[in-house]
Structure 1
Amino acid sequence: MRYFLGVDGGGTGCRAMLVDAGGRLLGQGLAGPANIMSDAQAATEAIMEASLQALQGRPPAEVSACLGIAGARISGAVGWLGPRLPFGRCRVLGDGEIAVAGALGARDGIVVALGTGSLFTRQLAGAFASIGGWGPVLGDEGGGAWMGRQLLARVLRAQDGLEPETPLVRRVLQRMGGAQMVVGFARSASGADFAAQVPEILHAGDDPLAQAILAEAQAHVEAGIARLQTDPALPVIFAGRLGSLLAPRVTRWPRAEPLGSALDGALRLARAP
């Protein structure tokens, strides 16, 4: 293969990067959400859009691609997606696997991937173990979609007088046009739509509701890490859009810096024999 393509597809967006055999960057692409479990057709379209941007007219048949896609394991896309795509060689993995490849390389450790969703993966002596990543409806605790849902649900509870009406509650109700509009938004919202509410939590300072949601997210993250930890403790690496924001709250275990990003991991695996 003359070219190597890495793709990182998550619930908020899809990124692609193309390099040559020497690792020289040739092109990049960016497209919309690519959670294959939530919407297989839209995810496939986003993967191809980002990939074709990166290819810049180069023939897909000369490309060795590695795709790390949210929901790929749960949906079975690791088996059926690759043959539907035009690449000369195509490896489909879960997004957690490329996050580990990018962050750890061959090292042992635990990678906490926090973006729209959440996934906890341990690499130990070449063996992998993962928990979480069950999607925005039944799982992904501590991730962006979960935090956004928590915000809106608790705003409605405050509207009913079951929780305090904080400044954050009032801002959300004013921005969205009242409780009925909150419900209307949630009825058709995607995981990415819920995750888009997170900046309001992060910018709310010491607002009691914001702090409560962040504390709950921290508890979920710590529970996931604890489930995968060993004795002696493995270093923990935080990845994803939310990872760097929640990392300072988690201090129980040794930390390590990532070697690279999930997209770097996808490229590393695309170039592997």
Structure 2
Amino acid sequence: MSSMFLGIDGGGTKTAFVLIDAGGRVAARHEATTSYYLEIGFDALRTLLRGGVQTTLQQAGVRAADLAHTFAGLPAHGEDSALLSRFDALLTDIVPRSTVGNDMVCSWAGSLAGADGISLVAGTGSIAYGEWQGRGARCGGWGEIFGDEGSAHWLAREALALFSRMADGRAEPGPLLALVREHFGLTQDLDLCAAINGGAQRSELAQAARLVTTAANAGDVQARQLLVRAGDELALLAAGTARNLAVPAGAAVDVSYSGGVFAAGDLVLGPLRAALARHLPGAQLKRPHFGPELGAALYAARLAGQPLSAQALSLLS
């Protein structure tokens, strides 16, 4: 019986491929660009997946036939019923045994090592997913136009709105003002309109979220408040997931996280912890066991009916 498991963690910014074995050894890793089909299209997505799988297998010196299972967690999966069959067929002619799902599952499987609880994802977009006593549920993930609160894209959008208010006198200027000017190479402040309206991709705009953390660390009170708001929005996602899972009120439930927004550290984790105490009493915020890329591989092992042992998990890194 094959004991190799391939995980693919898709995202709005990058796509990670990780191959592991049943003993907890990482046999190969590979990273590619965004797998957000609304940005690159289905044909490019299939090409990206095929190339990533082939590169990962070549690194490890194994064949597709050696894989017990492959799991690909991709952004936007499940958000258009008419496209489910296309999503589900993405890997059928690439690997022999595969499952395609939403990338939120990768975060949950990695951050909580497959245990009951809720995982928050705040990368380019935002979403929450949890499992509880055999049930699974999601919350959020509605996209950048009217959702994705607390995500990097949301933070970037709010930061640019704050910049506009600072630039034209509606808000007190802070360090964010100069940071945005430098980041976008603005000759004059209104040039930001052309920079954004000229076709900036979702993933490109999300990169500006880092300016919020930099500004907050430089003493920008208004930028810090954006991170407080992000923490509150993410806590609401956790509370909504708990409600959808029918977690009893006040029950102890582990909440973990993944995604670039959390690179802000205590600037966002502190507000998140405080907001969880208000919105989801009993929540215990836990550092992630593993990243979502390893979570994808762990979930592939689970789908193969060969979940990794506690000893194998302790060796995984």
TM-score relative to the length of structure 2: 0.78
- C-alpha distance in 1, partners of 2:23/2:231? 41
**Deviation of the 1:103 alpha carbon:** 2.3
1:127 aligns with 2:135: yes
- C-alpha distance in 2, partners of 1:115/1:158? 26
The secondary structure found in structure 2 opposite 1:250 is: helix
Q: How does 1:164-179 map to 2 (within 5 A)?
A: 164-176=172-184, 177=186, 178-179=188-189
Contact kept? 1:114, 1:242, Cα under 8 Å: yes
Range moving further from structure 2, 17-26 or 160-169: 17-26
Contact kept? 1:15, 1:29, Cα under 8 Å: yes
Contact kept? 2:139, 2:238, Cα under 8 Å: no
Residue of structure 2 in register with 1:67 after alignment: 72
The CA deviation string for residues 36-71 of structure 1, in whole angstroms up to 9 with x for no partner, is 344333433333333222111744354331001111
Residue of structure 2 in register with 1:225 after alignment: 238
Range moving further from structure 2, 229-238 or 74-83: 74-83
Q: How does 1:1-273 map to 2 (within 5 A)?
A: 2=2, 3-20=4-21, 22-41=23-42, 42-56=44-58, 58-63=62-67, 64-76=69-81, 78-85=84-91, 86-176=94-184, 177=186, 178-187=188-197, 188-204=199-215, 205=217, 206-229=219-242, 230-243=249-262, 245=265, 246-251=268-273, 252=277, 253-271=283-301, 272-273=304-305
- C-alpha distance in 2, partners of 1:149/1:45? 31
Contact kept? 2:5, 2:298, Cα under 8 Å: no
The secondary structure found in structure 2 opposite 1:268 is: helix
The secondary structure found in structure 1 opposite 2:225 is: helix
> Could you say if the C-alpha distance between residues 236 and 89 of structure 1 is closer, same or farther in structure 2, counting changes exceeding 3 Å?
same
The CA deviation string for residues 69-124 of structure 1, in whole angstroms up to 9 with x for no partner, is 11112145553234233111120010111211222245321111111111112211
**Deviation of the 1:203 alpha carbon:** 1.4
> Could you say if the C-alpha distance between residues 241 and 170 of structure 1 is closer, same or farther in structure 2, counting changes exceeding 3 Å?
closer
Q: Can you give the 5+ residue segments of structure 2 that lack an aligned partner in the other structure? A: 243-248, 278-282, 306-317
Q: Can you give the 5+ residue segments of structure 1 that lack an aligned partner in the other structure? A: none
- C-alpha distance in 2, partners of 1:259/1:174? 37
- C-alpha distance in 2, partners of 1:102/1:171? 34
1:5 maps to a residue whose letter is L
TM-score relative to the length of structure 1: 0.89
- C-alpha distance in 2, partners of 1:26/1:220? 37
Count residues with an aligned counterpart: 273
2:156 maps to a residue whose letter is G
> Could you say if the C-alpha distance between residues 105 and 22 of structure 1 is closer, same or farther in structure 2, counting changes exceeding 3 Å?
closer
2:196 maps to a residue whose letter is A
> Could you say if the C-alpha distance between residues 97 and 28 of structure 1 is closer, same or farther in structure 2, counting changes exceeding 3 Å?
same
Contact kept? 1:37, 1:70, Cα under 8 Å: no
Residue of structure 1 in register with 2:310 after alignment: none
2:293 maps to a residue whose letter is L
Identity of matched residues, %: 26
